[in-house]
Amino acid sequence: MTTTAPAADARTLGLAHYAARGVQEHVLARHGATFQQQITLRAAVTADAPMTADALVAQVKEYLKADPAGIRVTLDELLAGQLLVADGTHLRPTEAGRALIAAVGAETAPLSARIWAGIPADDLAAAGRVLALVTERANAELAALAVRPA
C-alpha cells in the first residue's frame, strides 16, 4: 500500500512545531527552565555584545511573537535565577546561564539528529524555502494586523 504525505499547510506546520517543541520542553523541564526562558537566554548567549533589556525584549518578541510584558517577566526570572546579570544598562549571561544553554544543547542534539536523520538534502532545502516564505508572509500579515484598527 502506498501512502501519500499530507500537503504542507498551517496544520502540518503546527503539528511539526509542537512535536519538536514538546521534545525541547521535556529536556528543559529536567533543568527547571521554560521554553521562553531558553529562547531569551539563548538570544543573550549568542549576541555579539551584551544587550539592553529593551533590545533583548524586542529580539525575543520578534522570535516568539510574545507579549513584551511576559518577556520582561522572563527576564526577571532569569535575573533572579542568576542566569543573566545586569551590567549597567546591559544584560549579560552568567556562567550558569551559558552552562544551561550548553547542557540543553548537548541533550537535545542526539534527539534532533534522530528526528532529522535520513531526510534527503533536497527535501530539506525545499522545506527551508517554503518555511522561509511562510514566515515572511505571516510576518507581513501580522504587521498589517498591527496597524489596522480592532
CATH number at residue 92: 1.10.10.10
pLDDT of amino acid 7: 86
Look at the chain and count its residues: 150
Q: Please report whether residue 91 resides in a domain.
A: yes
- Overall domain count for the chain: 1
The pLDDT value given to residue 37: 98
DSSP 3-state of 19: helix
For residue range 2-36, list pLDDT tens digits in order.
567 778 899 999 999 999 999 999 999 999 999 99
Does residue 48 surpass a pLDDT of 80?
Answer: yes
- Residue 71 counted as domain residue: yes
Is residue 124 domain-resident?
Answer: no
Residue 29: the pLDDT is: 97
Q: Which residues contact 91 (CB under 8 A, 6 or more apart)?
A: 44, 50, 51, 52, 53, 56, 75, 79, 84, 85
User: What is the pTM (predicted TM-score) of this model?
Assistant: 0.89
89, part of any domain: yes
User: Residues 62-100: pLDDT tens digits?
Assistant: 999 999 999 999 999 999 999 999 999 999 999 999 999
Model confidence pLDDT, tens digit, residues 94-124: 999 999 999 999 999 999 999 999 999 999 9
Residue 49 has pLDDT above 90, yes or no: yes
Note down the domain range covering 70: 28-118
Beta carbons within 10 angstroms of residue 91's beta carbon = 22
* Confidence check: pLDDT of 1 > 60: no
Q: Is the pLDDT score of 148 beyond 80?
A: no
pLDDT reported for residue 47: 96
